[in-house]
Amino acid sequence: MQYWLVKTEPEAFSWQDMVAQKRAVWDGVRNYTARNNLKAMALNDIVLIYHSVTDKCVVGLGRVDALAYQDPTTDDERWVAVDIVPVTELPKPVTLAQIKAEPALADLPLIKQSRLSVMPISEDAFKLIVEMGKG
DNA sequence: GCCAACGTTGGC
DNA sequence: GCCAACGTTGGC
C-alpha cells in the first residue's frame, strides 16, 4: 500500500468533476517522472487530490481503480493513464500555505519540486494531511 | 552526448 | 499577468 498526491487544475478537471463522474481517467501526463509514478501505482493505493493554481489546496482522497494503461489521449506508447475513484472529501481543504508551514511536510515534492504532478508521499505525511483536513 | 533555446507549469 | 524553475527538444 502506497500513498500518492496528484495535482489537477480545477479549471480543467476538479474534484467536483471527479465526484460527479464517480471516476477520473488520470490522463494527459507528459512528464517522465510523473509517468513513472503512475506506472508504480497499485490497485487501491490512496491518492490525495490537490487543486493547483486557483485553489492551491488538497481537497479530497481517491483510490486507484485501474493500473496504468495506454493514455487514451495519445497514440504515443510512452504515456499512460490510471483510473482514480473518489473516496472522501476533506472536511477542510488543506492549503499549500498550511503545508508549507508544517515542518514535517517541508520536504514534500509538492513544495520542493513544484512542477511535478504525480508524486509519492510517505504514510506519515499522508496521515498528517488527513488530520489537518479534519473538520 | 552536450547544451542552448524554448515551452509549460504553477506560485505569487 | 509576471516570472522563476525546470523539463523537453533539437542543433551541433
Q: How far is the CA of A29 from the C1' of C9 (A)?
A: 17
* Per-residue pLDDT at A114: 87
Q: What is the pTM of this model?
A: 0.94
Task: Work out the mean pLDDT of chain A and round it to a whole number.
Answer: 94
The string of pLDDT tens digits covering residues A69-125 is 999 988 888 899 999 999 999 999 999 999 999 999 988 999 989 899 999 999 999
- Average pLDDT for A24-52: 95
The nucleotides of chain C lying under 7 Å from a protein CB are 5-8
pLDDT of residue A75: 85
pLDDT at A5 over 90: yes
Determine which helix (DSSP H) or strand (DSSP E) holds A110, and give its type and residue range: helix A109-112
Domain A3-133 has CATH 3.10.590.10: yes
Q: Which amino acid, A31? A: N
8 Å CB contact between A97 and A81:
no
Q: What is the Cα–Cα distance from A52 to A61, expressed in whole angstroms?
A: 15
Q: What cell numbers appear for A40 in the block? A: 508504480
Q: What's the distance, CA A20 to chain centroid?
A: 17
CA of A112 to C1' of B12 (A): 16
3-class SS at A25?
strand
**Angstrom distance (rounded) from CA A10 to CA A13:** 5
Task: Tell whether the model's pLDDT for residue A58 goes beyond 90.
Answer: yes
